[in-house]
Structure 1
Amino acid sequence: MSTETKAKAVHFDVDTALSATTHSRPLRKKSRIPTFSSPRAYAIVMPFDEMLARAKKENPDVQKLIDERGFRQEIAAVNLMVAKLCDKACEIWPNAFMVLVDERYFRAPLQCIGLADNTHRINRTLPTADELQQIRDRLDINGAEFKLGWYRDMYPDQHI
């Protein structure tokens, strides 16, 4: 006994068919992450001197603490300033994270605001040019010293 099954065609009226084919939001072309042999982060460089100046401007007591405790307090002040800027960047780009990049590009390892990386699936999308400009405007980092690029990530497992 063989049973034949016939596929039944389903027909929609014109309005239903059109609403099913239109997208609720515009499609966004994904940017491709380049292939690197080592962990890399797509990051905005936060120059140490600039971040220290901002920390001193925001809180005048920072200079007194630096005088008392020395260079370690400078590093702590800069790290805190970069963390605050990273929190502001997260309002525009939720995948933003703090990252320490390799010193071979700079005179010392440098804290940066990471926007993407090549080691974690959740951080593999890149912000659009408009989102990058919004981040730069919001954080007031439009100068040439705030370089954006792919840098060698010192500790890729810390920003999952």
Structure 2
Amino acid sequence: MTTPTPAKVTFAEPALSTTKPSHPVSKAKVTFAEPALSTTKPSHPVSKKVKIPSLKAHGPRVLGIVLPHEKMFARLVEVNPKHQELVDAHDEWRLAMEVNLLIAIWCDDLEEKEIWPHGFRIMVDLRSQTTCCQALGLTKNTTPESRNAPTIEQIRQIREYLRLPREEYPLVWCRDQSKI
């Protein structure tokens, strides 16, 4: 902890004669040192972790960024315009395989960029979707080694890097379909 610097006090010179001076005498002037920065608070914000629901109370859950089919098909075409033929032909099986490959590439990229090394692909069942859909899994509550949770900042970085805005790609705790 740093000690504060004492105040600097400056007084006017005393008058040598009793006659009125030709120039005004300045009054006492007090100047305080700059306040010391607080050392009790950290210099960076505390990173908040996502709370993991208990397996016993909630069953098998996975935290993931939901990747709706329509959005992912558009992303595939963006990556490779030749995928438009698969979309037009409604080739669900090949499209699903291409989406799986894209998610695997994303997971590798996140690990390589040291944003989040524990990404995985998972099928999730959401009431908002008509069928099961894919998600970019971030953590599970089923085993101790998979219970590493990303911080809020890491989730923000993942979304930014992969261009997954929260309005279109929700982050949710879902039932882990692989454990049913």
Give the alignment's TM-score, normalised by structure 2. Answer: 0.63
Q: Percent identity?
A: 37
Unaligned 5+ runs, structure 2: 1-45
Cα pair 1:51 1:82 within 8 Å, conserved: no
| Equivalent position to 2:170, from 132, 135, 147 | 147
Higher helix share: 1
Q: Over aligned residues, Cα RMSD in angstroms?
A: 2.5
1:39-118 alignment runs, 5 A limit: 39-66=60-87, 70-90=91-111, 91-118=114-141
Match of 1:4 in 2: none
Q: Give the counterpart letter for 2:100 in structure 1.
A: N
Residue 74 of structure 1 and its aligned partner are, at CA, apart by 2.0
- Name which structure has the greater RCO, CA cutoff 8 Å, separation 6+: 1
Q: Deviations over 1:118-146 (max 9, x none)?
A: 10211112111111111111101124021
* TM-score, structure 1 as length reference: 0.70
Give 4+ residue runs of structure 1 displaced > 3 Å after superposition: 27-32, 65-69
Q: Which runs of 5+ in 1 are unaligned?
A: 1-26
Whole-Å separation in 2 of the counterparts to 1:155 and 1:57: 29
* Partner Cα separation in structure 2 for residue 92 and residue 119 of structure 1: 23
Count of residues in Structure 1 that have an aligned counterpart in Structure 2: 131
CA, structure 1 residues 63+145, in 2 after alignment: closer, same or farther (shift >3 Å)? same
Task: Name the larger-Rg structure.
Answer: 2
Q: 2:159 aligns with which of 116, 121, 136?
A: 136
